[in-house]
Amino acid sequence: MVRRALVSVSDKTGLVPFARRLAALGVELLSTGGTQKALADAGVKVVSVGDYTQAPEILGGRVKTLHPRVHGGILYRRGLASDEADVKARDIPPIDLVVVNLYPFREAVAAGKPFAECVEEIDIGGPTMVRSAAKNSAHVGVIVDPADYEKVAAELEQTKALSEATRFYLMKKAFAHTASYDAAISEYLTARETPAAEPAHFPQTLAAVYTKVQDLRYGENPHQAGAFYRAGREPDEPTVAFAKVLQGKELSYNNLLDLEAALAGVKEFDGVAAAVVIKHNTPCGVAVGKTPGEAFARARECDPVSAFGGIVALNRPVDYAAAEELTNLFLECIIAPSYSDDARAALAVKKNLRLLEAPRLGEPRSAWKRRPEEQRELRSIPGGLLVMDRDLGSIRREDCKVMTKRAPTEEEWRDLLFAWKVVKHVKSNAIVFAKGDRTVAIGGGQTSRVESVKTAVMKAQLDVRGSSVGSDAFFPFKDGVEEIIKAGATAIIQPGGSMRDAEVVAAADAAGIAMVATGMRHFRH
């Protein structure tokens, strides 16, 4: 039975209604500081922990709950003779429920507060109470997440007690909560040589704590097990991990990988309707249009064979016209900011089609404020982890250097910059032919750049003559440029920097095509 609860929370979401439900059940509420005030101001009867322990807060509030009457009440094993004797001798009543979430350390760090202020937000009593209650979960419940208030209150209203299953569920969440909190503190501290030093780009200890969302049917192949984990906090940008699934079969490991590739590609475009079609983690068609339906239709035309069974991302709400276009092709998944009611009805005919909604995808990119940990990319190797900055690099026309005698025309500049947005999402060695705000041929994943050019031209379903070409890295030899010239393209954008740049430029000049250098490479392995 829950007779007494200690409530001390930093995040007060849902606190007062939950506390009222506990009070209505006759549960005595103990509390401290701001939580006690919030409850008292709301008319909820609450006992100060200082009055309960007969030990007032000291050290400016640093010591409030670190007292035998608190931790004895939490940790004592009901029914164990020696524990029963101890609590009786010292007049320690049981505390059956601990409701605690921790000081906002991460928020202080994210706000750029000084070192001393961040350290002051390191909770001591909170984690101690959480760990004490979690350790004694055979007798005590612990809540660290306001999302669990309803579950706990409803169960108490039914039975006056928490089941073993619920206490174990809460125990697991509690230890995950404190582990994540301590990992964040460790990462913050190990990024600094001294308190006053600027933080290192990568900390000595990496706080990578994730929670399993679901077991997947399998991994990349049926003989490989797979699971999907999610970070503790939703990123401040559109993400597959936190997208809402609206319909369709359960997402697979490969679906999630391809959806992320599609989303990353469509995020390149701002202020215009864009569509990206992904197959096997690489684009097979990218286009912009006046409407999302037109953008998708134009993207599909780049490689309709590869688009079959593909993954589509759109950066505009899907209306009925777009839904009609989308249902004309077998697709695995679609992700978009939203769907109109008639679009949902049209897409519902494809019962296995997975629809995902990521509302922030329709916002301008300037609205996304990435936290430092969200600018990292993690890749595992047996026994280790590779960490790097995400490839968020972009260039403007004024960043480019014209390498050839002829500068690009205005139309070529537009196509070159479009190709450059796409090429960083294609597997290396990556080659993208673009014309009129869409891709017309894509080649990548080859072990030589010239083979990627040949692959793109060989697969082309649209006319590549007069197009502009993006290359993710420099041309080591002129043969790739010669193949581009042979295909009829008229301009090239590439990083530059090869020891054979002179002969590459000479080949372009001889053919009268334009070439510009970005000074930025976009390898994608």
**Beta bridge partners of residue 335, listed in sequence order:** 313, 356
201 catalytic per annotation = no
Q: How many other CB atoms sit within 10 Å of the CB of residue 341? A: 8
- Helix H or strand E encompassing 283: strand 282-289
Rounded to whole angstroms, the Cα distance separating 115 from 108 reads 9
- Helix H or strand E encompassing 404: none
Rounded to whole angstroms, the Cα distance separating 164 from 137 reads 8
113 catalytic per annotation = no
CA distances 291 to 188, 315, 319, 321, 511, Å, are 45, 10, 9, 9, 37
- DSSP 3-state assignment of 378? strand
Torsion on CA atoms 116, 121, 127, 128, rounded to nearest 10: 60
The token pair at 28 is 């005595």
- DSSP 3-state assignment of 501? helix
DSSP letters for 102-127: ---HHHHHHTT--HHHHHHT--SHHH
Of 135, 151, 249, 350, the catalytic one is: 135
Rounded to whole angstroms, the Cα distance separating 517 from 486 reads 21
Of 113, 249, 280, 350, the catalytic one is: 280
Rounded to whole angstroms, the Cα distance separating 521 from 167 reads 52
The token pair at 94 is 């049981």
Contact 329, 299 (CB under 8 A): no
- Return the HEC string of 422-469: HHCCCCCCCEEEECCCEEEEEECCCCCHHHHHHHHHHHCCCCCCCCEE
Closest CA to 417 of 372, 469, 379: 469
Give the catalytic positions in this structure: 135, 280
